[in-house]
């Protein structure tokens, strides 16, 4: 929610603030918090409660009463809090204690995926987001019967993650087939505003700027309480993107020129491949690939070696002389060309 600066190193107060929100500590978790004061945190500080609880639970420390709230965190600070919150501290202590045992558990839980244990002394905003994602999508320990040996065997299911246990949000993987603007559907009409279709199922969402994901295999994070999509990410692993102009159809192949080498390459098309031309489903035709200014993307969402969706973004550059919001007409300076805006285009 932009409460953490985008480029600065994450501080100890920011770590406490976020970990407090995703842990049992917010509800108290049956922990009695002492009135011990900090030398460098006033009781009226906005993060005082979070810092006090994190220290009371042992997730973070304040040696000699000094928490150093604005000092940047190190990787081990994050690891200690994350392992504790997920309930694996007893295994960390059993396998070497602090810091080695905690680093071992974090590695086996893949908590540092897209992060680093030792390459940098601090953690920036982008790394922190990835690390918090790793914590939320990890499975909390079941305190009865979990042993060090079993840690390497645990698996995560949709309903066995911190994300689900704390926020009732689970992951759904599928094909993003339609929003109000674009679709790759054969018969089903597009959904209304505020609705999207993923693998044949219609969901509510308040997300914007997701139209570019239509035609992609996605991870959707479902808010179970509101029965809506709270977040959406592309998970395509086999995608070919290239600048257009020199691309054409030849039977069931798309032939294009590699931008780096200049050599000719091809992409096989599936039998029922869909074409999205500037966001609109369009019948495949050779003329659409002539003199393209923009990008052409081939998506093989089922990874069978055949492209299932072709996306073309084609544009022309001109200087506008007049824009009429009432009529939805843009007039170009040269030649007086008139361009009508589509009724379903976003206001932007």
What is the structure's pLDDT at 344?
A: 46
What is the structure's pLDDT at 169?
A: 94
Q: Is the pLDDT of residue 258 over 90?
A: no
Averaged confidence pLDDT in the chain:
83
Using one digit for the tens of pLDDT, what is the confidence trace for 111-131? 988 766 555 678 888 889 889
How many C-beta atoms surround the C-beta of residue 219 within 10 A? 14
What is the structure's pLDDT at 303?
A: 87
What is the structure's pLDDT at 146?
A: 54
How many C-beta atoms surround the C-beta of residue 18 within 10 A? 21
Between these two residues, 82 and 94, which has the higher pLDDT value? Answer: 82
Between these two residues, 329 and 76, which has the higher pLDDT value? Answer: 76
The two three-digit tokens of residue 16, written as one number: 């406490």
Using one digit for the tens of pLDDT, what is the confidence trace for 7-53? 678 999 999 999 999 887 655 444 445 555 789 999 999 999 999 99
d(CA 115, CA 55): 25
What is the structure's pLDDT at 273?
A: 92
| Burial class of residue 163 (count of CB atoms within 10 Å of its CB; 0-12, 13-18, 19+) | buried
**β-strands 228-234, 195-198: how paired?**
unpaired
pTM of the model: 0.76
Radius of gyration of the chain (CA): 26
Chain centre distance of CA 229:
12
347 confidence band (pLDDT: 50, 70, 90):
very low
Closest CA to 95 of 104, 86, 106: 104
Q: At 157, give phi and psi (nearest 5°).
A: -115, 170
d(CA 159, CA 173): 14
Q: Which long-range contacts (CB under 8 A, 24 or more apart) does 202-210 make?
A: 203/227, 203/228, 203/229, 204/228, 204/229, 205/229, 205/230, 205/232, 207/231, 207/232, 210/176, 210/179
d(CA 266, CA 288): 17
Average pLDDT over residues 294-298: 84
The two three-digit tokens of residue 72, written as one number: 């940047």
Give the helix ranges, DSSP H, for the chain: 12-22, 48-56, 75-86, 89-94, 100-108, 125-136, 148-151, 162-167
Helices and strands (DSSP H and E) totals, the chain: 8, 15
d(CA 155, CA 161): 10
């Amino acid at each position: 929610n932009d409460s953490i600066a985008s480029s600065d190193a994450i501080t100890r107060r920011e770590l406490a603030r976020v970990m407090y929100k995703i842990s049992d500590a917010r509800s108290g978790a049956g922990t009695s918090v002492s009135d011990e004061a900090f030398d460098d945190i006033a009781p009226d500080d906005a993060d005082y409660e979070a810092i006090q609880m994190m220290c009371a639970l042992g997730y973070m420390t304040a040696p000699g009463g000094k928490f150093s709230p604005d000092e940047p965190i190190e990787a081990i600070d994050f690891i200690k809090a994350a392992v504790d919150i997920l309930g694996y501290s007893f295994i960390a202590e059993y396998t070497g204690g602090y810091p080695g045992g905690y680093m071992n558990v974090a590695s086996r839980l893949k908590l540092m995926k897209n992060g680093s244990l030792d390459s940098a002394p601090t953690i920036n905003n982008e790394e922190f987001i990835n690390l918090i994602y790793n914590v939320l999508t990890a499975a909390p320990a079941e305190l009865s019967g979990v042993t060090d040996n079993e840690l390497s065997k645990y698996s995560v299911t949709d309903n066995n993650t911190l994300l689900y246990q704390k926020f009732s949000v689970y992951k759904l993987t599928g094909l993003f087939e339609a929003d109000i603007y674009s679709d790759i559907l054969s018969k089903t009409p597009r959904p209304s505003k505020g609705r999207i279709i993923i693998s044949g199922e219609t969901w509510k969402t308040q997300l914007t700027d997701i139209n570019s994901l239509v035609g992609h295999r996605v991870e959707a994070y479902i808010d179970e309480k509101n029965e809506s999509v709270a977040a959406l990410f592309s998970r395509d692993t086999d995608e070919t993107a290239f600048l257009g102009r020199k691309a054409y159809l030849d039977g069931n192949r798309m032939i294009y020129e590699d931008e780096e080498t200049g050599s000719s390459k091809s992409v096989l098309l599936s039998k029922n491949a869909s074409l999205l031309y500037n966001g609109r489903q369009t019948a495949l035709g050779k003329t659409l690939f002539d003199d393209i200014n923009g990008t052409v993307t081939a998506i093989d969402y089922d990874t069978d070696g055949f492209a299932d969706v072709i996306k073309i973004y084609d544009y022309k550059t001109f200087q506008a002389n007049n824009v009429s919001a009432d009529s939805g007409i843009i007039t170009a300076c040269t030649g007086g060309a008139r361009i009508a805006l589509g009724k379903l285009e976003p206001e932007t």
